[in-house]
Amino acid sequence: MTLSTQFLAIAFPEIDPIIFELGPFAIRWYALAYIAGLVIGWRLMMRFAKAPGSSVTDKNVDDFLVWATLGVILGGRLGYVLFYKPEYYLSNPSEIFMVWQGGMSFHGGFLGVIVATILFTRAKKIPLMDFSDLLATVAPVGLFFGRIANFINAELYGRTTDVAWGVLFPGGGDLPRHPSQLYEALLEGLLLFVIMLILRKTDLVKKPGFLTGVFFLGYALARSFVEFFRQPDAHLGFLAGGFTMGQFLSVPMILIGLYFLFRKTPLKK
């Protein structure tokens, strides 16, 4: 690394992952991010459900909040355990439930929400794709806050770089790294959310499952792109062909997204 690169590197801001603590009780930014994503997404989804012609009611959305919370937390944690550190947690099973220490998989949380959505819509007799399209519209909100929390925790940082905005992360060595968490917050979160809002104002929303397909595809492409700048998990490294676990797990999402986009289905009147 050159002297000019060292000069341009940005020191990581001193942000305590714990907002405040009282004895054994502590509030962390990581937990607050999940709460913010769920609550804001819930309120937005209730607003969209009140639109004329919606087959989903705001009462349905209200009832789903608990289901979504369980899907995100249980699925995200189990996904991390199974996809990223199965051997470690097999040897340390008591740590599986220590979610406050970090370690959540988006793909796992996504699967958890899918299962919760299928069970909920069947129980309430709600059209699955109509409900899924509403959920897909607000999902980027949770992604945005989750990635910001990753940055605050100085985890899941990027590969070494000489760009002017490279950050010196604690635990990341003496070389500046891509703030890949912020890349993901902007692409998977903010940009994808704006796209979903724009599409909601077009006739494309008349095709059940279209917005769901856009979310699947949009997230998977954004995640796969940012993985080229993100440092792979140390215990996994690069997989076959130099790709990462995040990229491999995104492939099924791309295929499913394309299926929902191009499948033939009657339009809503």
| pLDDT over 50 at 4, yes or no | no
- Report the chain's mean pLDDT, rounded to a whole number: 87
Amino acid making up residue 1: M
- What's the domain count of the chain? 1
Q: What's the pLDDT at 107?
A: 73
Beta-sheet pairing, 25-28 with 10-11: unpaired
What are 110's two structure tokens? 């996504």
Domain assignment present for residue 102? The answer is yes
In-domain check, residue 80: yes
Angle of CA points 12, 13, 14, to nearest 5°: 115
Q: How confident is the model at residue 269 (pLDDT cuts 50, 70, 90)?
A: low
Is 203's pLDDT higher than 50? yes
Residue 62 lies in a domain: yes
268 falls within a domain:
no
Measured over the CA atoms of residue 233, residue 234, residue 238 and residue 240, the dihedral's sign is: negative
Identify the bridge partners of residue 160 per DSSP, sorted by sequence position.
Answer: 177
Domain holding 178, by residue range, is 3-262
Question: Percentage of residues in the chain with pLDDT exceeding 90?
Answer: 51
What's the mean pLDDT in 225-240? 84
Q: Report pTM.
A: 0.84
1 pLDDT higher than 60: no
223 is in an annotated binding site: no
- Closest CA relative to residue 261, chosen from 218, 223, 226: 218
Distance of CA 202 to the CA centre of its chain: 25
Query: Mind listing the pLDDT tens digit for each residue in 32-81?
Result: 888 899 899 999 999 999 888 888 999 999 999 999 888 888 888 887 77
Dist. CA 144–CA 253, nearest whole Å: 19
Instruction: Decide if 267 is inside a domain.
Output: no
What pLDDT is stored for residue 24 in this prediction?
67
